[in-house]
Amino acid sequence: MGENINELISNLKTYLEYLKGMGIISIPVSDDILEELTPSKILTLEMVRKELGDCKRCKLHRTRRTIVFGEGNEKAILMFIGEGPGNEEDVQGRPFVGKAGQLLTRIIESINLSREEVYIANVIKCRPPENRNPEPDEIESCHPFLLRQIHVIQPKIICALGTFSAQTLLNTNAKITALRGKIYDLEGIKVIPTYHPAFLLRNPDKKREVWEDMKKIAEWLNNSRINEME
């Protein structure tokens, strides 16, 4: 029991340091989830989803159909984070299932992975009316839950899809055009920003740049596998 408690304390300290580095100094946590965080249990995506509940923390709950939490491999090495749900996502409750989602699936497959092998989420969990840009208070309400998703999954690489994803993760106001093409560090996680698939549907000439970003991800994943085998 003593070892379990020490391990729990160590994990909590690491997590709090991670949140502090992200600029989060307080997180609302219900009594229910605190009861589940016993020495014999660790944080899971199911627990994060339970804490999110029927979220009404921002105004988007008034117009959404469903909460789009995220889906994929809970132990994924690679995580894709977009902006927010569109109409199809709002209907189905799944991320990236519309035309942009179909393109994202092809992008994932281009580096010899499937959707089931990665984890896909968004900065915000509810669709903004008319697919407008997410507003600062909406991002702020969802941010703690995105951080918890990242903490549970512990990916080696995050591909930030579009301006709002990259800005939120990297705590910057720079546009995606200035951010992409580079690799950033987020508490030991590599962050590679690239264009959002919806942007590519409107600007197909930018697909080559996204392919260059995907090649960086594929190369890193391949090198990582080789190192694990040695």
* CA atoms of 94 and 96, how far apart (whole Å): 7
Residue 22 forms part of a structural domain: no
Residue 197 forms part of a structural domain: yes
Q: Phi, psi at residue 224, to the nearest 5°?
A: -65, -40
Residue 19 forms part of a structural domain: no
* CA atoms of 189 and 207, how far apart (whole Å): 25
Residue 20 forms part of a structural domain: no
Residue 97 forms part of a structural domain: yes
pLDDT digits (tens, 9 = 90+) for 25-76: 555 555 554 454 444 458 999 999 999 999 999 999 999 999 999 999 999 9
Alpha helices by DSSP H, listed for 53-135, are 87-92, 99-109
Range of the domain at 216: 55-229
pLDDT digits (tens, 9 = 90+) for 22-36: 555 555 555 554 454
Q: Report pTM.
A: 0.83
Residue of 206, 134, 200, 189 lying closest to 164 (CA atoms): 134
Domain CATH for 119: 3.40.470.10
CB atoms near residue 188 (< 10 Å): 8
| Total number of domains constituting the chain | 1
Mean pLDDT across the stretch 116-122?
A: 98
